[in-house]
C-alpha cells in the first residue's frame, strides 16, 4: 500500500490545522432546487428548514425558471445527454455554434468561443494569446481563476492597486516597450460589489496600445441598461478586446463559460487554449438552457429592472437600519462586520430566523474585513426582502451593532 501512515498523518495535520484556525468549510445540504426559497439541512442530519436564500449568484432568478428547464428538457430529447468528445474531434453540434453566435450578439463583440467553465476560459486564454515578450497587468483584486490563468501564461506579469487609474498608468508607462500588453480586471468585483472603471481603463489602453480584458461573470445578463455587462454600464461597448464570462451565475446558473471579443483572439483560443482542446464539450442540455436564457433576456429587460429595484430597496433598508455596507450599486451588498467570529455568529442567528446568508472572513477577504455578503435576485419578491430585512435588524440588535460605525464595531468586537 502506498498511502502510508506517514502520508495520512501529513494530510490529517493540515486538515486539523484548517479546523483549528476556524476556517474549515462546512457545506450545507440543499434538498430543493435553487431559488429564493430553499430547503436546507444544516447541520447535517437535522430536520429540513425552509429559508430565504440571500447569497446565491442566481441574480436573475433563472436557475429554476420553468422556460429554461423546459428548454433544457427539449435539448436533452433532441441532442442527447453527453457529447463524449472535445469540440474539435466530434463534440460540436449546431447548437454550440448557435450559442456562440447568440453570445456574440448579446455582448456586442466580434466572436465567441465556449469553454467548459469561466475558470477554464480564464486559465486558457492568456497562455493561448501571449508569449514571453508580452505583459499582463492585472488589478490586485482579480478573481482566483484569473490569477491561475496568469500563472499558466509564459508572459510577464505586473499588477496595479485596486481600481487605481494613476497606478495603472504608471505601470503602462513602465511596460511601454513590451510587444503586447493586456490590462486585466473583473467587471464587477465579487467580494465588494464595486464596478471597474472601464471608461478610464479603455482610454488608458488606447493611449498606451494595450488590450483590455474584463471578466464579467458577476455582470453578464443584468449590469447595464439592457444587461449586457459592465461594458454597457460604463459606455465602452466595442472597446473591450476580451470578455470572459460564466453561464453558471445569472445566465441560468448551470455551468459553462466563454471568451468573447476580437475575432483573432477567439480563433487563437480555438487553436491553442488547452482547457478548450482537452476538456469535454458543454453538455447539449446546458447549451439549450443558456440559449433560452439569452432569448428571455433579449425579449425584455423586466428581470434586470426588477433586480435593480430589489437592490435599491435592500441597500436602502440596510442603510436606514444602521448597518455598515460597502458602497456600490450592484446586487452584491456586503454587510460589514469586520470580526470573523461575529460574522459566523451573525450568519448562524440569521439562519435561526429563516435567512440563509454566509459569513465571509480571512482568507476569502482580507483580515479584519469579515462580512455577510448578501446577493439580491430578481427571484426575490418583496415579502422575501421584507422578512430578510426584519431578520437582519433583529440579529443586528442582538449583537448591538445597529447605528455603529466601523470603528465602534471594531472597538466592541476586535479584529
Ligand atoms: C464565478 C467566477 C468565475 C468562475 O466561473 P465558473 O464558470 O463557475 O468556472 C470566474 N471569474 C469570476 C470573476 C467569477 O466570479
pLDDT band at 211 (very low <50, low <70, confident <90, very high): very high
Please indicate, yes or no, whether residues 124 and 258 belong to a single structural domain of this protein: yes
Least confident piece of the model among 1-5, 95-99, 345-349, 392-396: 1-5
Distance between CA 250 and CA 64 in Å, rounded?
Answer: 11
The average pLDDT across 319-345 equals 96
pLDDT band at 297 (very low <50, low <70, confident <90, very high): very high
* pLDDT number for residue 357: 97
Question: What range does the domain containing 282 cover?
Answer: 66-299
Instruction: Name the grid cell of 1.
Output: 500500500
* Catalytic site includes residue 190: yes
Strands 257-261 and 29-30: unpaired
Please indicate, yes or no, whether residues 181 and 285 belong to a single structural domain of this protein: yes
pLDDT at 23 over 90: no
pLDDT at 415 over 90: no
Please indicate, yes or no, whether residues 156 and 252 belong to a single structural domain of this protein: yes
| Final residue of a structural domain among 299, 320, 349 | 299
Distance between CA 10 and CA 151 in Å, rounded?
Answer: 27
What's CA 84's distance to the chain center, in Å? 28
Any idea what the CATH number is for the domain that residue 126 is in?
3.40.640.10
Cα 161 to ligand 1 centre (Å): 21
Please indicate, yes or no, whether residues 126 and 255 belong to a single structural domain of this protein: yes
Please indicate, yes or no, whether residues 49 and 110 belong to a single structural domain of this protein: no
Cα 129 to ligand 1 centre (Å): 20
> Is ligand 1 within 6 A of the CB of residue 218?
yes
Q: Is residue 173 part of a domain?
A: yes
Cα 185 to ligand 1 centre (Å): 13
- pTM equals 0.97
> Is ligand 1 within 6 A of the CB of residue 190?
yes
Please indicate, yes or no, whether residues 154 and 242 belong to a single structural domain of this protein: yes
Please indicate, yes or no, whether residues 213 and 274 belong to a single structural domain of this protein: yes
Cα 202 to ligand 1 centre (Å): 23
Answer for the pair 27, 37: CB distance below 8 angstroms, yes or no.
Answer: no
pLDDT at 1 over 80: no
* Beta pairing partners, 49: 40
Residue among 116, 121, 122, 145 to mutate when testing ligand 1 (max atoms within 8 A of CB): 145
The average pLDDT across 116-136 equals 98
Q: Is residue 327 part of a domain?
A: yes
Any idea what the CATH number is for the domain that residue 40 is in?
3.90.1150.10
Q: Which residues, including other chains, have CB under 8 Å from residue 52's CB and lie 6 or more apart? A: 36, 37, 354, 355, 356, 380, 384, 387, 388
Distance between CA 103 and CA 98 in Å, rounded?
Answer: 9
* Catalytic site includes residue 25: no
Please indicate, yes or no, whether residues 39 and 83 belong to a single structural domain of this protein: no
Q: Is residue 89 part of a domain?
A: yes
pLDDT digits (tens, 9 = 90+) for 141-185: 999 999 999 999 999 999 999 999 999 999 999 999 999 999 999
> Is ligand 1 within 6 A of the CB of residue 119?
yes
Stronger pLDDT, 363 or 249, i.e. the higher one: 249
Distance between CA 225 and CA 36 in Å, rounded?
Answer: 24
Burial class (CB in 10 A: 0-12, 13-18, 19+), 151: exposed
| Final residue of a structural domain among 279, 299, 319 | 299
> Is ligand 1 within 6 A of the CB of residue 117?
yes
* pLDDT number for residue 109: 98
CA-nearest residue for atom 1, ligand 1, is: 217
17-25, long-range: CB within 8 Å, 24+ apart, which pairs? Answer: 22/340, 22/341, 22/344, 23/361, 23/362, 23/363
Please indicate, yes or no, whether residues 286 and 379 belong to a single structural domain of this protein: no
Q: How many domains does the chain have?
A: 2
Give yes or no for a cis peptide into 363 (omega within 30° of 0): yes
Q: Which residues, including other chains, have CB under 8 Å from residue 334's CB and lie 6 or more apart? A: 191, 192, 193, 325, 326, 360, 371, 372, 373, 374
pLDDT digits (tens, 9 = 90+) for 350-408: 999 999 999 999 888 999 999 999 999 999 999 999 999 999 999 999 999 999 999 99
Answer for the pair 289, 75: CB distance below 8 angstroms, yes or no.
Answer: yes
Please indicate, yes or no, whether residues 166 and 268 belong to a single structural domain of this protein: yes
> Is ligand 1 within 6 A of the CB of residue 215?
yes
* pLDDT number for residue 26: 85
> Is ligand 1 within 6 A of the CB of residue 125?
no
Q: Is residue 61 part of a domain?
A: no
> Is ligand 1 within 6 A of the CB of residue 248?
yes
* pLDDT number for residue 21: 80
Cα 189 to ligand 1 centre (Å): 11
DSSP 224: S
pLDDT > 90: percent of the chain: 96
Q: Is residue 251 part of a domain?
A: yes
Q: Which of 102, 181, 218, 306 is catalytic?
A: 218
Q: Is residue 13 part of a domain?
A: no
pLDDT > 70: percent of the chain: 100
- DSSP, collapsed to helix, strand or coil, labels residue 234 as coil
Please indicate, yes or no, whether residues 309 and 175 belong to a single structural domain of this protein: no
Q: Is residue 8 part of a domain?
A: no
The average pLDDT across 69-96 equals 98
Q: Is residue 210 part of a domain?
A: yes
The average pLDDT across 298-326 equals 98
| Final residue of a structural domain among 299, 334, 367 | 299
Please indicate, yes or no, whether residues 228 and 81 belong to a single structural domain of this protein: yes
Amino acid at each position: 500500500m502506498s498511502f502510508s501512515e506517514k502520508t495520512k498523518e501529513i494530510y490529517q495535520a493540515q486538515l486539523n490545522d484548517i479546523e483549528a484556525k476556524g476556517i474549515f468549510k462546512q457545506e450545507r445540504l440543499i434538498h430543493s432546487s435553487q431559488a429564493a426559497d430553499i430547503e436546507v439541512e444544516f447541520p447535517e442530519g437535522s430536520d429540513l428548514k425552509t429559508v430565504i436564500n440571500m447569497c446565491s449568484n442566481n441574480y436573475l432568478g433563472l436557475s429554476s425558471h420553468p422556460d429554461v428547464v423546459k428548454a433544457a428538457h427539449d435539448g436533452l430529447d433532441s441532442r442527447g445527454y453527453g457529447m463524449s468528445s472535445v469540440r474539435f474531434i466530434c463534440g460540436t453540434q449546431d447548437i454550440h455554434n448557435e450559442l456562440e453566435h447568440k453570445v456574440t450578439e448579446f455582448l456586442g463583440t466580434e466572436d465567441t468561443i465556449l469553454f467548459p467553465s469561466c475558470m477554464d476560459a480564464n486559465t486558457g486564454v492568456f497562455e493561448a494569446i501571449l508569449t514571453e515578450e508580452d505583459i499582463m497587468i492585472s488589478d490586485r483584486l482579480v478573481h482566483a481563476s484569473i490569477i491561475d490563468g496568469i500563472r499558466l501564461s509564459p508572459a510577464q506579469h505586473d499588477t496595479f492597486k485596486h481600481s487605481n487609474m494613476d497606478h495603472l498608468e504608471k505601470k503602462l508607462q513602465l511596460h511601454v516597450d513590451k510587444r503586447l500588453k493586456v490590462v486585466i480586471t473583473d467587471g464587477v468585483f465579487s467580494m465588494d460589489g464595486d464596478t471597474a472603471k472601464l471608461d478610464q481603463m479603455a482610454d488608458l489602453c488606447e493611449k498606451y496600445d494595450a488590450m483590455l480584458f474584463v471578466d464579467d461573470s458577476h455582470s453578464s445578463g443584468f449590469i447595464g441598461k439592457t444587461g449586457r455587462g459592465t461594458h454597457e454600464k460604463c459606455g465602452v461597448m466595442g472597446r473591450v478586446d476580451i470578455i470572459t464570462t460564466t453561464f453558471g451565475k445569472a445566465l441560468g446558473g448551470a455551468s459553462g463559460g466563454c471568451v468573447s471579443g476580437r475575432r483573432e483572439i477567439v480563433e487563437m483560443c480555438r487553436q491553442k487554449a488547452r482547457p478548450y482542446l482537452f476538456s469535454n464539450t458543454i453538455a447539449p442540455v446546458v447549451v439549450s438552457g443558456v440559449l433560452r436564457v439569452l432569448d428571455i433576456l433579449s425579449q425584455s429587460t423586466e428581470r434586470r429592472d426588477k433586480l435593480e429595484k430589489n437592490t435599491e430597496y435592500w441597500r436602502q433598508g440596510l442603510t436606514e437600519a444602521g448597518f455598515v455596507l460597502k458602497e456600490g450599486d450592484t446586487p452584491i451588498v456586503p454587510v460589514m462586520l469586520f470580526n470573523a467570529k461575529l460574522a459566523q455568529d451573525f450568519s448562524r442567528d440569521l439562519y435561526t430566523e429563516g435567512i440563509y446568508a454566509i459569513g465571509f472572513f480571512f482568507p476569502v477577504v482580507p483580515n479584519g474585513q469579515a462580512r455577510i455578503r448578501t446577493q439580491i435576485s430578481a427571484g426575490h419578491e418583496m415579502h422575501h426582502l421584507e422578512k430578510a430585512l426584519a431578520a437582519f435588524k433583529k440579529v443586528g440588535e442582538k449583537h448591538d451593532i445597529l447605528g455603529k460605525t466601523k470603528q465602534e464595531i471594531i472597538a466592541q468586537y476586535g479584529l
